């Protein structure tokens, strides 16, 4: 770039000469012939150098120079004086006016050129240096960076302003001599050691270095500092004692980084920590460490009294020192109205401006601990404050909105995590309740997923369906549904998933379920959707078998009743005792063949209608029974006779039940009358024919005994004396005749025994059945031995009986047990005794014989009924008939239980105390 030079001279000759010299060198020239002209030219455009003559009219060179120097923009333009004045005074004045050089006239062109060149170069260098300095200052400002030079021996330090700004110091606080030590005092105590060690290294080595540390500024703010430096020597000094470098405030940058870390740590820990106390503890500790605060504490909202109470959750930087404070703070409570509801801070805690009353209470503690700052952070769930974190610090709390915003953000985050936790806990609790309900339910429950697979069942389910848990889980629900319903179930399931709600399944349909063994049973099922997203549905299954059975039984009994009513053999009546009305159902009129005259008046008197017709002898009986029913018995059960309108006799059974009110008074009686005439007539006829049969049997067997005796004795003679003379066939026929007559003898004896049971029975007495059975066993010794029978007799009891007849019963049952044996098996008979209902002795004969088919269970007790031929097993078919008759004479009963082909069990039930016992004993 060409430099421009302004030549100021009133002598045109001089201008010409100078112009000649300078033009050759390529400078751009401007001219002025007076001081005035020069100033105007400079104002128009700044030259790089001015050549100024001293001796000029009006305004001389000195004055012109002074004026140029006063022009701010031209201040730096070098002015070289040209003058014929050669005295020193003139030269001094020129320099005082601001000139940089003085060239005496007449001048030598080479000298002038050399001087001009030098001044132009100097001026350029100076400008460059100024620009650099300005740039550095700007850079310091922008980068929060201060520069320094530090003498490691004397600790003297030169520094830029920015450096003292970083420490929040005032210029007046420091000098070059004390700034180093002053700055050291602000270093964060946790970083002190690190910095010390570093300084020691710096003093010893010459390597360039960098270091990061924290400071708490004069105003109490935490700052992160980046420092660098390298050792060298300053001009004029020999030793490498000077460390030159920068100090940069990287707090913003660091804080962002730390804030992110803090947030992540807090949220992570708060989410994952299961114990809420530990979660808060971590938050307190983390925030205190981050902020450099000393105490952190939590107040928790207590639903029961709508108060915030001091929780035993603390962070104490120095537990020993803060022990008292903790103690005094332990029981503090306050309500939400005490809360400002936003983050509150107090910079001047000791004095005015505490944020709760409680803090006032702790004022003394705080003062003695020299805690100055207090800070509260509310944690809100659904706009409701659930906890307050309070902090105390030694320094005044930060006044930086970004920190407050940060903590506010922490509060919000923790609140939303807490909300999620509460929600999660609620879900977990609900799940637990559901689980308990399912397990403890008294009915089976099954949960299926969208694919109709069983995902859960309860114990009742396994019990009812007879599955093990493991074999049913994962199976399709179809396993418990009868095959014929599978298709329908599929379509119903998909439509249910479209709009799942609680409802009963298959309304109006008969549902049934399938047990593991394939048995079906009727059920009712109610469905509850559990999770919409997973499509799980809970089915509660109610086994309604017994209800169905009861319903059916009820229906059957209704049907029976209806049949009975329709058959005309049964009449229904209803007596309102309080009102004195006796209502007859139509069936009653029909039963007694009495016309229902007044249909409009259903209330008719029992006495009027029926009483006159009752047989005189029975009236007393009826009245007595009615009285008893209305008194203590509460049931009526009698039979009486009635003369029907056609004069015929009718047997009637009346059965009824009385209802009583709270005072024990009878208020209503409902009953039925049953026409028993047919049954009683049949029974009477049967009894008559039995009696006749018995008499016949008795007479016949008695009278047959005599001729039979004659036949058998003659047969004996023939057998003894004449058999030898008979041919083989004759001997065979003889044997058959003897056999037949023996059988006839047995038959007649049996028949006689049968007909004598009632006739010739002896007295009842107390008899030990153990003795009786022993007699029987002794008598049957031959039979037992022949058949190699094994007889096991348990402890029997004592009963009232006719011992002779009872022996007969035992003999028959034992003999049958041995006789009806399977071909290749040895007979085994077990005799035992059981007491039932306190009053019934059951004597049981159990064998391992051929057994009896169920359809013959009744028939075998009838007279002459046999299930086998004589060839298979001999017998008369009277044994069990005799047995039954004897047992019935003892007011007992006999029955058989048997599995065909496996054995039989005859059970004789005898009352331990007989009705009319004394009579029997005396008879
Ligand atoms: P019988 O004189 O024929 O033995 P019972 O009256 O004693 O006459 O028995 C009637 C029928 O009952 C027998 O013919 C026999 O078929 C059957 N019976 C009786 N006791 C037994 C038993 N313990 N095991 C199998 N069948 C029996």
Q: Give the integer Cα–Cα distance in Å for 231 and 226.
A: 17
What's the pLDDT at 919? 41
Please answer whether residues 880 and 904 qualify as being in contact, where contact means their C-beta atoms are separated by less than 8 angstroms: no
pLDDT digits (tens, 9 = 90+) for 155-185: 999 888 888 888 999 988 899 999 999 999 9
What's the pLDDT at 178? 92
What's the pLDDT at 923? 36
Give CB contacts under 8 A, 24+ apart, made by 744-749: 744/708, 745/708, 745/712, 746/876, 747/876, 747/878, 748/701, 748/704, 748/705, 748/708, 749/701
- 877 Cα: distance to centroid of ligand 1 (angstroms): 7
What's the pLDDT at 398? 57
pLDDT digits (tens, 9 = 90+) for 313-336: 999 998 888 888 888 777 777 666
Which residue's CA is minimally distant from atom 7 of ligand 1?
Answer: 879
How many degrees, rounded to 5, is the angle at CA 601 between CA 595 and CA 607? 65
Pocket of ligand 1 (CB under 6 A): 812, 816-817, 820, 847, 849-850, 852, 860, 865-868, 875-881, 904
Which residue's CA is minimally distant from atom 8 of ligand 1?
Answer: 877
What's the pLDDT at 313? 94
End-to-end CA distance of the chain: 166
- 914 Cα: distance to centroid of ligand 1 (angstroms): 29
Which of 876, 877, 908 is the pocket-test mutation for ligand 1 (most atoms within 8 Å of CB)? 877
Counting from 1 in the atom list of ligand 1, the atom nearest the Cα of 851 is: 25
pLDDT digits (tens, 9 = 90+) for 711-744: 888 888 888 888 787 888 888 888 888 888 888 8
- Given a cut of 70, the residues of the chain with pLDDT beneath it are 1, 235-236, 334-363, 396-403, 506-507, 597-609, 761, 914-923
Of 679, 644, 674, 640, the residue nearest 567 (C-alpha): 674
Counting from 1 in the atom list of ligand 1, the atom nearest the Cα of 861 is: 6
Which of 844, 880, 881, 899 is the pocket-test mutation for ligand 1 (most atoms within 8 Å of CB)? 880
- 879 Cα: distance to centroid of ligand 1 (angstroms): 7
Which of 875, 881, 902 is the pocket-test mutation for ligand 1 (most atoms within 8 Å of CB)? 875
- 880 Cα: distance to centroid of ligand 1 (angstroms): 7
pTM: 0.39
**If DSSP codes are grouped into helix, strand and coil, which group holds residue 339?**
coil
What's the pLDDT at 68? 93
Of 250, 295, 298, 287, the residue nearest 265 (C-alpha): 287
β-bridge pairing 790-793 and 828-836:
parallel
Of 523, 527, 525, the residue nearest 544 (C-alpha): 523
Counting from 1 in the atom list of ligand 1, the atom nearest the Cα of 880 is: 6
With a CB cutoff of 8 Å and minimum separation 6, the contacts of 28 are: 2, 3, 4, 5
The string over 231-267, giving b where at least 16 C-beta atoms fall within 10 Å of a residue's C-beta and e elsewhere, is: beeeeeeeeebbbebbbbbbbeebbeeebeebeeebe
Which residue's CA is minimally distant from atom 4 of ligand 1?
Answer: 875
Which residue's CA is minimally distant from atom 19 of ligand 1?
Answer: 816
C-alpha distances (whole Å) from 733 to each of 49, 709, 722, 739, 740 are: 182, 19, 13, 10, 10
What's the pLDDT at 898? 95
- 816 Cα: distance to centroid of ligand 1 (angstroms): 6
- 893 Cα: distance to centroid of ligand 1 (angstroms): 17
Which residue's CA is minimally distant from atom 23 of ligand 1?
Answer: 817
Please answer whether residues 26 and 1 qualify as being in contact, where contact means their C-beta atoms are separated by less than 8 angstroms: no
Helix (H) or strand (E) holding 101: strand 101-104
The sheet carrying 222-232 orders its strands as: 157-159, 145-151, 242-249, 222-232, 209-216
- Give backbone dihedrals phi and psi of 455, rounded to 5 degrees, phi first: -110, -15
Which residue in this structure is represented by tokens 């006719």?
802
Counting from 1 in the atom list of ligand 1, the atom nearest the Cα of 812 is: 7
With a CB cutoff of 8 Å and minimum separation 6, the contacts of 172 are: none
Which residue's CA is minimally distant from atom 2 of ligand 1?
Answer: 875
**What percent of the chain has a predicted confidence (pLDDT) above 70?**
92
What's the pLDDT at 359? 55
- 867 Cα: distance to centroid of ligand 1 (angstroms): 7
- 766 Cα: distance to centroid of ligand 1 (angstroms): 29
Q: What is the DSSP letter of 914?
A: -
- 751 Cα: distance to centroid of ligand 1 (angstroms): 16
- 688 Cα: distance to centroid of ligand 1 (angstroms): 28
Which residues make beta-bridge pairs with 102?
81
User: Going along 347-434, which residue ranges are E strands?
Assistant: 373-381, 384-393
Q: What is the DSSP letter of 780?
A: T
Which of 851, 867, 896, 905 is the pocket-test mutation for ligand 1 (most atoms within 8 Å of CB)? 867
Which residue's CA is minimally distant from atom 13 of ligand 1?
Answer: 866
Counting from 1 in the atom list of ligand 1, the atom nearest the Cα of 906 is: 23
Say what angle helices 88-96 and 61-70 make with each other, to 10 degrees.
20
Which residues make beta-bridge pairs with 301?
308
β-bridge pairing 4-8 and 28-32:
parallel
Which of 817, 852, 878 is the pocket-test mutation for ligand 1 (most atoms within 8 Å of CB)? 852
- 698 Cα: distance to centroid of ligand 1 (angstroms): 23
């Amino acid at each position: 770039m060409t430099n421009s030079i302004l030549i100021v001279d009133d002598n045109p000759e001089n201008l010409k000469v100078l112009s000649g010299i300078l033009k050759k060198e390529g400078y751009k020239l401007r001219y002025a012939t007076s001081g005035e002209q020069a100033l105007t030219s400079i104002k128009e455009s700044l030259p790089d150098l001015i050549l100024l003559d001293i001796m000029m009219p009006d305004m001389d060179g000195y004055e012109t120079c002074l004026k140029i120097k006063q022009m701010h923009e031209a201040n730096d333009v070098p002015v070289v004086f040209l003058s014929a004045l050669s005295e020193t005074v003139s030269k001094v004045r020129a320099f005082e006016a601001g000139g940089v050089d003085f060239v005496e006239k007449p001048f030598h062109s080479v000298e002038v050129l050399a001087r001009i060149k030098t001044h132009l170069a100097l001026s350029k260098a100076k400008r460059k240096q100024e620009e650099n300095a300005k740039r550095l200052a700007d850079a310091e400002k922008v980068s929060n960076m201060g520069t320094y030079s530090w003498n490691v021996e004397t600790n003297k330090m030169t520094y830029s302003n920015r450096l003292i700004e970083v420490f929040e110091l005032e210029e007046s606080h420091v000098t070059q001599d004390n700034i180093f030590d002053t700055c050291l005092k602000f270093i964060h105590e946790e970083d002190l050691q690190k910095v010390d060690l570093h300084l020691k290294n710096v003093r010893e080595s010459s390597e360039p270095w960098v270091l990061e540390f924290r400071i708490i500024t004069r105003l109490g703010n935490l700052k992160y500092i980046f420092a660098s430096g390298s050792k060298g020597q300053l001009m004029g000094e020999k030793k490498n004692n000077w460390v030159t470098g920068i100090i940069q405030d990287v707090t913003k940058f660091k804080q962002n980084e730390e804030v992110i870390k803090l947030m992540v740590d807090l949220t992570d820990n708060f989410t994952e920590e299961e114990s809420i106390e530990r979660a808060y503890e971590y938050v307190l500790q983390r925030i205190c460490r981050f902020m450099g605060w000393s105490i952190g504490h939590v107040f928790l909202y207590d639903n029961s009294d709508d108060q915030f109470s001091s929780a035993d959750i603390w962070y104490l930087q120095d537990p020993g020192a803060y022990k008292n404070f903790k103690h005094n703070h332990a029981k503090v409570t306050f309500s939400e109205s005490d809360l400002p509801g936003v983050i509150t801070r107090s910079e001047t805690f000791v004095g005015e401006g505490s944020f709760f009353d409680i803090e006032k209470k702790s004022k003394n503690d705080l003062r003695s601990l020299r805690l100055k700052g207090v800070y509260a952070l509310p944690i809100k769930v659904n706009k409701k404050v659930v906890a307050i974190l309070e902090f105390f610090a030694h320094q005044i709390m930060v006044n930086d909105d970004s920190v407050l915003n940060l903590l506010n953000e922490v509060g919000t985050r923790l609140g939303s995590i807490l909300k999620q936790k509460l929600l999660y806990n609620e879900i977990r609790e609900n799940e637990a309740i559901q689980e308990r309900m399912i397990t403890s339910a008294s009915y089976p429950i099954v949960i299926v997923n969208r694919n109709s697979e069983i995902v859960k069942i309860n114990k009742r389910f396994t019990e009812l369906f007879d599955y093990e848990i493991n074999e049913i889980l994962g199976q399709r629900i179809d396993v418990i549904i009868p095959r014929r319903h599978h298709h329908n179930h599929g379509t119903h399931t998909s439509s249910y998933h479209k709009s799942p709600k609680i409802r009963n399944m298959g309304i109006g349909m008969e549902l049934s379920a399938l047990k593991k063994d394939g048995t079906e049973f009727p059920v009712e099922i109610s469905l509850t959707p559990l999770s919409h997203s997973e499509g799980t549905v809970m089915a509660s299954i109610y086994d309604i078998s017994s209800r169905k059975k009861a319903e059916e039984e009820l229906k059957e009994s209704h049907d029976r009743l209806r049949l009975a009513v329709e058959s005309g053999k049964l009449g229904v009546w209803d007596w309102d005792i309080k009102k004195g009305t006796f209502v007859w159902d139509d069936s009653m009129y029909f039963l007694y063949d009495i016309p229902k005259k007044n249909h409009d008046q259903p209330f008719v008197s029992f006495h009027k209608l029926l009483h006159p017709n009752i047989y005189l002898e029975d009236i007393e009986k009826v009245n007595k029974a009615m009285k008893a029913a209305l008194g203590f018995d509460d049931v009526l059960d009698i039979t009486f006779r009635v003369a029907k309108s056609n004069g015929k006799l009718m047997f009637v059974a009346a059965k009824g039940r009385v209802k009583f009110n709270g005072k024990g008074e009878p208020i209503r009686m409902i009953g039925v009358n049953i026409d028993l005439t047919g049954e009683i007539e049949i029974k009477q006829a049967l009894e008559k024919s039995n009696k006749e049969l018995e008499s016949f049997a008795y007479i016949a067997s008695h009278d047959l005994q005599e001729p039979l005796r004659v036949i058998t004795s003659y047969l004996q003679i023939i057998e003894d004396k004449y058999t030898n003379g008979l041919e083989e066939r004759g001997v065979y026929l003889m044997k058959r005749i003897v056999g037949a007559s023996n059988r006839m003898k047995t038959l007649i004896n049996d028949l006689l025994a049968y007909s004598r049971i009632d006739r010739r029975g002896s007295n009842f007495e107390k008899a030990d059945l153990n003795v009786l059975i022993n007699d029987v066993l002794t008598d049957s010794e031959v039979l037992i031995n022949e058949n190699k029978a094994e007889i096991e007799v348990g402890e029997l009891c004592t009963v009232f009986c006719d011992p002779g007849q009872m022996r007969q019963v035992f003999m028959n049952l034992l003999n049958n047990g041995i006789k009806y044996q399977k071909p290749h098996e040895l007979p085994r008979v077990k005799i035992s005794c059981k007491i039932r209902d306190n009053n019934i002795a059951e004597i049981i004969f159990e064998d391992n014989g051929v057994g009896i088919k169920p359809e013959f269970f009744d028939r075998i007790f009838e007279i002459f009924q046999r299930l086998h031929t004589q060839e298979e097993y001999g017998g008369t078919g009277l044994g069990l008939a005799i047995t039954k008759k004897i047992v019935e004479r003892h007011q007992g009963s006999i029955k058989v239980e048997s599995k065909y082909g496996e054995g039989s069990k005859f059970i004789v039930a005898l009352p331990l105390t007989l009705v009319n016992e004394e009579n029997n004993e005396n008879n």
